């Protein structure tokens, strides 16, 4: 469809470390097909390359009798091709049977048992042992076939077949470990990988170095010993041998080291990508655990960390919803303790008129719906003026400006918020009338309760005054009253929007409180 761009990040960030392995959402049938194709192609390619390298080295490079001659026609043209063909057929059937027995649970679509999970993770090692057996058997068959024609061919043929077999075995392990990731991911989802040192990440690198570089170097040493033992080698032949073994060492070493490091970088990349997503705020991000080494434990550890962060954020959000964002942030910055400190704040008290009668004549669900709409307007308006809803008191709300977060002018904010509430509540909650009282003065702000259960609140004369003004406001036309002290403390612009209507000694106080109402300006 025109104008719609594909999400390229999905191509760059495959679930299983490579686009060749598909995604985690694939069906069992799709995963099985991918695994079969990858194992067949990679193992056949590794063995064909191994056979080709061994053939070139035996016939044209290594010292000894000239094997590309008529006298070696039987082993060259009959024994080797026949054994290679039989080994490919037998090896294919054997590998397929070994894999099938250990991943039968996956094909059946059920959860693996503990032993089945361990067996699945050891399939690459099993495939490697099958390859090793076939190549050693090949050495036992091919080497005597050449030796029966000329015994001097035994060292070069035996060494080359074993060397090629070791390289193929190293590649087979790494390639089969790669190809089986889709199934290993399902197996590892049920628990940690079995402890096995030969599967360690560092061991992979060591084996890759030993097979890809160490064995060819041993071949060079054997050639040197062969020469020192008095075997005649021309300078040109010696140079060809060194160049051929050196090139083989470079190619085999590059192949195996690339496969080994790739098997380690895949899990590391998946964790890095997931960390970027978590940093961007996507805390639900998880990594597919598909590696059976220490790197798989790293993937699993990241998932535990991400789950912990997600749970922490959920609790943080829940805590903030219960006590207010500002109170929650203050509690995070410093450990809350029982007690409080004196401060000057603006206070707004809002209370629904006639809530008792409304509850008696209206269904409970409807009452709750009205209260929620009422409190939604209160919360949104208070947030707009940087206040804090200290508490919901049934059908009333206590709002504070200046605690726990200090404000430059809490009196102005409290008065502006009270006026805004008086305008918005009738429009947003039709039929719901509420008295609003605003005051300003000294309070004690802090935590009240017991050591194992306390809450943040403000206590003081300003709170009591706002509550009393709220009750008196219910008899005023505009349903809003503010104290003269709050208007006097506010800035000139806000103070000019309130008119004096007299004074009254409110309940709980001995001195009269000057009463102010919005002027409508």
Strand partners, 448: 455
User: Which of 294, 325, 352 is the C-terminal boundary of a domain?
Assistant: 294
pLDDT at residue 308 greater than cutoff 70: yes
| pLDDT of the residue at 414 | 94
User: Which of 294, 318, 353 is the C-terminal boundary of a domain?
Assistant: 294
Asked if the peptide bond before residue 404 counts as cis, ω within 30 degrees of 0, the response is: yes
414 shares a domain with 282: no
| pLDDT of the residue at 198 | 46
| pLDDT of the residue at 97 | 92
pLDDT, one tens digit per residue, over 18-52 is 888 887 778 888 888 888 898 888 889 888 888 88
- Higher-pLDDT residue of 245, 500: 500
Residue 235 falls within a domain, yes or no?
yes
User: What is the domain-level CATH number for residue 425?
Assistant: 3.30.70.1230
**Residue 9 banded pLDDT, cuts 50, 70, 90:** very low
Q: Give me the residue label for tokens 């106080």.
A: 509
CA distance 326 to 404: 7
Overall domain count for the chain:
2
CA distance 333 to 188: 39
Query: Who's near 482: CB < 8 A, 6+ residues apart?
Result: 415, 418, 437, 438, 439, 469, 498, 515, 516, 517
79 and 274 Cβ atoms separated by less than 8 Å:
no
pLDDT at residue 57 greater than cutoff 80: no
263 shares a domain with 342: no
User: What is the phi/psi pair of residue 373, to 5°?
Assistant: -65, -40
pLDDT at residue 75 greater than cutoff 50: yes
495 shares a domain with 381: yes
351 shares a domain with 236: no
369 shares a domain with 253: no
pLDDT at residue 512 greater than cutoff 80: yes
| pLDDT of the residue at 325 | 58
pLDDT at residue 104 greater than cutoff 80: yes
Strand partners, 514: 503
**Residue 6 banded pLDDT, cuts 50, 70, 90:** very low
Nearest residue to 414 (alpha-carbon basis) of 381, 375, 458? 381
Residue 14 falls within a domain, yes or no?
no
Residue 256 falls within a domain, yes or no?
yes
pLDDT, one tens digit per residue, over 373-427 is 888 899 899 889 988 888 888 888 899 998 888 888 999 999 999 999 998 988 8
486 shares a domain with 371: yes
264 shares a domain with 147: yes
| pLDDT of the residue at 453 | 64
| pLDDT of the residue at 329 | 58
Token representation of residue 342: 């004196």
| pLDDT of the residue at 487 | 92
Residue 301 falls within a domain, yes or no?
no
153 shares a domain with 90: yes
Nearest residue to 162 (alpha-carbon basis) of 131, 141, 129, 136? 136
pLDDT at residue 482 greater than cutoff 90: yes
Q: Give me the residue label for tokens 């208007």.
A: 487
Residue 300 falls within a domain, yes or no?
no
pLDDT at residue 183 greater than cutoff 80: yes
203 shares a domain with 351: no
Residue 51 falls within a domain, yes or no?
yes
| pLDDT of the residue at 362 | 74
Nearest residue to 162 (alpha-carbon basis) of 222, 101, 205? 222
| pLDDT of the residue at 337 | 60
CA dihedral sign, ordered 233, 235, 236, 241: positive
User: Which domain range does residue 208 map to?
Assistant: 23-294
211 shares a domain with 117: yes
What are the distances in angstroms from CA 156 to CA 161, 223, 340? 9, 9, 89
**Residue 122 banded pLDDT, cuts 50, 70, 90:** confident
Give percent of the chain with pLDDT exceeding 90.
16
pLDDT at residue 134 greater than cutoff 90: yes
Residue 433 falls within a domain, yes or no?
yes
pLDDT at residue 113 greater than cutoff 80: yes
User: Which of 239, 268, 294 is the C-terminal boundary of a domain?
Assistant: 294
The rounded mean pLDDT for the chain is: 81
Give exposure, 223-243, as e/b (b: 16+ Cβ within 10 Å).
beebeeeeeeeeeeeeebbee
- For the question of whether the overall pTM of this predicted structure is more than 0.75, the answer is no
Residue 76 falls within a domain, yes or no?
yes
What's the mean pLDDT in 249-270? Answer: 80
pLDDT, one tens digit per residue, over 199-258 is 577 777 777 777 767 766 776 676 666 666 656 566 666 677 777 777 777 777 787 788
367 shares a domain with 264: no
What's the mean pLDDT in 479-508? Answer: 88
275 shares a domain with 162: yes
pLDDT at residue 331 greater than cutoff 60: no
| pLDDT of the residue at 449 | 67
């Amino acid at each position: 469809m025109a104008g719609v761009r594909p999400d390229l990040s999905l191509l760059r960030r495959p679930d299983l470390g490579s686009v060749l392995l598909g995604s985690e959402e694939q069906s069992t049938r799709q995963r099985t097909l991918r695994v079969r194709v990858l194992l067949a192609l990679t193992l056949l390619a590794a063995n064909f390359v191994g056979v080709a390298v061994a053939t070139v080295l035996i016939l044209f490079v290594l010292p000894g009798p000239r094997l590309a001659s008529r006298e070696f026609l039987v082993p060259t043209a009959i024994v080797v091709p026949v054994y290679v063909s039989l080994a490919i057929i037998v090896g294919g059937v054997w590998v397929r049977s070994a894999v099938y027995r250990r991943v039968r649970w996956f094909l059946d679509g059920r959860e693996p048992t503990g032993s089945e999970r361990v067996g699945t993770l050891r399939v690459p090692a099993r495939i490697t042992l099958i390859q090793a057996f076939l190549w050693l058997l090949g050495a036992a068959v091919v080497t005597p076939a050449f030796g029966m024609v000329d015994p001097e061919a035994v060292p070069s043929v035996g060494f080359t077949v074993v060397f090629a077999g070791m390289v193929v075995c190293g590649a087979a392990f790494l390639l089969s470990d790669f190809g089986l990731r889709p199934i290993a991911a399902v197996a590892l989802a049920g628990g940690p990988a079995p402890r096995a040192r030969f599967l360690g990440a560092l061991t992979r690198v060591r084996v890759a170095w030993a097979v890809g570089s160490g064995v060819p170097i041993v071949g060079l040493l054997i050639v040197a010993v062969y020469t020192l033992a008095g075997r005649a080698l021309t300078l040109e032949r010696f140079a060809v041998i060194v160049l051929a073994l050196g090139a083989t060492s470079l190619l085999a070493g590059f192949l195996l080291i690339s496969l080994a490091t790739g098997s380690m970088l895949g899990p590391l990349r998946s964790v890095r990508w997931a960390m970027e997503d978590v940093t961007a705020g996507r805390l639900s991000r998880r990594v597919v655990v598909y590696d059976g080494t220490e790197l798989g434990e790293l993937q699993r550890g990241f998932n535990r960390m991400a789950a912990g962060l997600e749970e922490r954020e959920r609790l943080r959000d829940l805590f903030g919803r219960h006590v207010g964002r500002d109170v929650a942030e203050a509690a995070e910055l410093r450990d809350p303790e029982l007690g409080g400190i004196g401060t000057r704040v603006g206070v707004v008290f809002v209370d629904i008129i006639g809530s008792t009668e409304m509850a008696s004549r209206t269904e409970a669900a409807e009452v709750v719906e009205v209260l929620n709409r009422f409190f939604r307007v209160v919360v949104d308006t208070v947030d707009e003026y940087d206040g804090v809803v200290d508490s919901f008191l049934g059908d009333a709300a206590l709002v504070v400006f200046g605690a726990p977060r200090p404000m430059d002018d809490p009196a102005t904010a409290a008065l502006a918020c009270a006026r805004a509430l008086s305008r918005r509540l009738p429009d947003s909650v039709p039929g719901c009338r509420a008295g609003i009282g605003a005051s300003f003065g000294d309070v004690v702000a802090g935590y009240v309760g017991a050591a194992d259960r306390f809450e943040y609140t403000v206590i003081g004369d300003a709170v009591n005054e706002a509550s009393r003004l709220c009750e008196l406001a219910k008899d005023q036309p505009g349903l809003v009253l503010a104290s003269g002290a709050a208007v006097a403390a506010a800035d000139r612009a806000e103070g000019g929007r309130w008119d004096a209507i007299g004074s009254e000694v409110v309940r709980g106080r001995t001195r009269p409180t000057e009463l102010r109402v919005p002027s409508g300006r």
